[in-house]
Structure 1
């Protein structure tokens, strides 16, 4: 039994009681949390009720593609709008963050919520990219290609079994993620007091740290793929393809931001 580093995937149908138990929790929503709950192996899931079509690989691929396309289109349009549209970055991030909490806490597979999240994050990232483009022309395209490349690369790694998603691997990755988050928090707190830990100043240490963060985000995709694979094998309802797409999107947003940051460091030299 494995858990994903992505909070969204931890709430996929599973655990004791199978799909029926999950559906009850979904209806009760208010008491549910986005805590790191474990997802049972396929044998422990009851799958979709007879009246609902089970999820397929095509469902996941299609919904993920649509979600990513919405974010990409929103991002490109925002970036092309120019600096005068930069004020939307913070509001868009807030909207995306609030919606992500709603989706995770309510375990929602609502298509409108997922697409709104993607559009909001696309606008936010597009605004940041547009501003960065003024300093480093073409950096947005480079970051998009880099993110897509990492996604495809990790999918190949997962499908070929080059890296096995085992409980040991999951524990190692979770430890790495906690370590990265602690360092980010420490760097932020230090900056409030005028100190510089060198993790985000564009220097050699910042480049190394950014590469580590990208590595952690990339490997977390393996856990996301594995959780999606378990859901498909378990035959959960097709509607949860939107929830899986949302989970993958959150990882891709994190990956894009870090790749954009790394490229700005490298081109700044």
Structure 2
């Protein structure tokens, strides 16, 4: 069953097609169809199902929940570090109102560079830890600059509220996924990814129309912005469920430990998405008080 998430699409194991034979690394990097057949977790320990008969090599270790948590923690730590550095090293807006242009430039740099690195990481067949950490660093710059500018414009407390809300959303979604044994079906994936594509398309349309003075506020801080933020938060929770499912499939498929970085990257993208939309939602609600 193929993942529709571009971050995980390049990894066979995340799609339930990975070969769990760790002494045959070529099977997961070349798309062999042995091993984790049809999502049942059946391992082809000898490589017979995938048609590979390579000589035993050094066991590189398998991806586990612990390795995914460690890599995700490290990646999010880099985001927080660079966000904090951006926050404290940029001028205080109360003392220098003109500094808003600096924050805007930093947020645009972080957002655009982060998007480019996200695309590279999403479509690389072999995940690069260095590129994942580079993505985390530039996204940290974006998060720090965007957060500081919104807190300056809409008042104190927004960032703390968004951080706590993000932690609650991630913990709550994980608890619901495990305790309620949520099953991710092909139809569920199709609907979530369809909604995501539609949301991104409308957001990009609004972004382009803004240059012609005809945007309809989808990315703004008005009523339409409120609606889009609520929709985006709902999508973020659904994407987290897909992420958890993809990670679970990758572990069952016996992917190499290096693939923990791909899992960490996917989770980091979704968590940043949720944080930014929560921050924007709180700003909109504060502005409407």
**Coarse TM-score class (shorter-chain normalised):** 0.7 to 0.9
- Compare the two structures and name the one with the higher helix fraction: 1
Cα contact 1:147–1:256 (8 A) shared by 2:
yes
**RMSD of aligned alpha carbons:** 2.6
Whole-Å separation in 1 of the counterparts to 2:18 and 2:63: 19
Cα deviation per residue 1:125-175 (whole Å; 9 max; x = unaligned)? 101111112122221222121122111111111112364311121122122
Which consecutive unaligned segments of at least 5 residues does structure 2 have? 20-24, 32-36, 48-56, 92-98
How far did residue 179 of structure 1 move?
Answer: 2.1
Q: 2:152 aligns with which of 129, 134, 146?
A: 134
Distance 2:277 2:113 in 1: 20
The answer to whether the 8 A contact 1:42-1:230 is kept is no
1:62 match: 70
1:109 aligns with 2:149: no
Q: Which of residues 191, 201, 226 in structure 2 aligns to 1:207?
A: 226
Match of 2:141 in 1: 123
**1:7 and 2:6 matched:** yes
Contact 2:18 2:28 in 1 (8 A): yes
Summarize the Cα distance change of 1:110–1:17 in structure 2 as closer, same or farther, 3 Å threshold: closer
Give 1:181's aligned residue: 200
Question: What is the rounded CA distance, in whole Å, between the counterparts of 2:206 and 2:64 in structure 1?
Answer: 43
- TM-score normalized by the length of structure 1: 0.84
Q: 1:170 aligns with which of 175, 189, 193?
A: 189
Match of 2:246 in 1: 227
Does the alignment pair 1:245 with 2:264?
Answer: yes
1:77 is aligned, of 79, 85, 96, to 85
Deviations along 1:63-118, one digit per CA (max 9) or x if unpaired, are: 11111111012112211223456243333334323322332222333222211211
* Pair member with larger Rg: 2
| Greater relative CO (CA pairs within 8 A, separation 6+) | 1
Structure 1: state its 5+ residue gaps.
26-38
